[in-house]
Amino acid sequence: MLTMRQGIRPLGPADLDAFLELTSGDPVVNVFADYRARTTSLEPRWLGGEVWGRWVGGDLVAACHVGANLVPIAATEEDARAFAERALTRGRTVSTLVGPAAPVRAFWDTVAASWGRPREQRWVQPHMVLAGPPAVEPDGLVRRSTRADFDDLYPACVAMYTEEVGVSPEIGGGGELYRARVLQLISRGWSFVRFEEGRLVFKAEVACASPYAAQIQGVFVVPDRRGEGLATRGMAAVADIVRREIAPAVSLYVNDWNAPAKAAYERVGFRQTATFATVMF
């Protein structure tokens, strides 16, 4: 029998239905958690970590994904502090704390003194959603990538990641794992590119998807072609394909200081529905 502290215990396959009911309260914001649950059935061996649930009166009221990313799910600030107290009993095992800003802040305030100085903190990241047709004409040259595109696509993925996160995904011998991730996205049909005269100029990927939403990541335009509208029409094309073939709503989150990207998404028709925050180690 698993014991619970503050009503918290690790979830497993028997809790899948309750967990999916929890995420359905805001299925777009919770798309990452929904995706992880559906693809792993909450089996720890497939999760590569755990999902903690907080129970009150027999009901699952909040959860927390604890893998490479720690993500509060449907959590109030009180829930987040309770999850943080549990996390303090085992030390930091995650590389990123991310999710809706209020519970992320509450969690971080609880563990900050023990977890050490983070590499970066981003407290205002607009979470944006497009649930209808794009407001601009999609770029007809944007398509799904193929294995034949890999040699051109992979350097763009590394460049985007390094620019966005601040460190290369290949650091510490991570290149092989990152290459596998890029190939996985290609094989799923979740990677999109635009080539011009044989040169890749735009790319984006679906990070995760559920029956309700898909989350876009890795939007990148080569530096010398920025400001020409490639991101706007490219994202319109990606959103159009995703909504027709993967999920009815398309979401993403963007750093508040990235005004050109936010403006491009707004031109496509994305609208802010929440604010995310990220703490990176």
Into how many domains does the chain fold?
2
Shared-domain flag, residues 67 and 176: no
196 & 85 share domain: no
Coil/strand/helix, residue 31: helix
Are 269 and 157 found together in one domain? yes
How would you write the pLDDT of the chain (281 residues) with one tens digit per residue?
A: 344 667 999 999 999 999 999 999 999 999 999 999 999 999 989 999 999 999 999 999 999 999 999 999 999 999 999 999 999 998 899 999 999 999 999 999 999 999 999 999 999 999 999 999 999 999 999 999 999 999 999 999 999 999 988 889 988 888 899 999 999 999 999 999 999 999 999 999 999 999 999 999 999 999 999 999 999 999 999 999 999 999 999 999 999 999 999 999 999 999 999 999 999 99
Q: Which domain holds residue 31?
A: 8-116
For residue 174, tell me if it sits in a domain.
yes
Cα 19 → chain centroid? 18
Tell me the CATH number at 35. Answer: 3.40.630.30
Predicted pLDDT at 5:
67
User: For the chain, how long is the longest CA-to-CA vector?
Assistant: 63
Residues 256 and 163 in one domain: yes
How do strand 249-253 and strand 120-130 relate by DSSP bridges? antiparallel
The answer as to whether 269 is a domain residue is: yes
CA distance 4 to 18: 17
Strands (E), the chain: 8-10, 50-56, 59-66, 69-73, 96-100, 120-130, 143-144, 191-196, 199-209, 213-221, 249-253, 271-280
Is there a domain that residue 151 lies in? Answer: yes
Do residues 110 and 216 both lie within one domain? no
* End residue of a domain, out of 67, 101, 116: 116
Cα 103 to chain center, whole Å?
Answer: 16
Structural domain includes residue 129: no
213 and 108 assigned to the same domain: no
Q: Is residue 279 part of a domain?
A: no
In a domain, 132, yes or no: no
Same domain for 156 and 52, yes or no, is no
pTM of the model: 0.92
Tell me the H-state helices in 89-229.
101-115, 150-165, 175-188
Q: Is residue 130 part of a domain?
A: no
Predicted pLDDT at 4: 64
Residue 131 inside a domain? The answer is: no
50 and 111 co-located in one domain:
yes
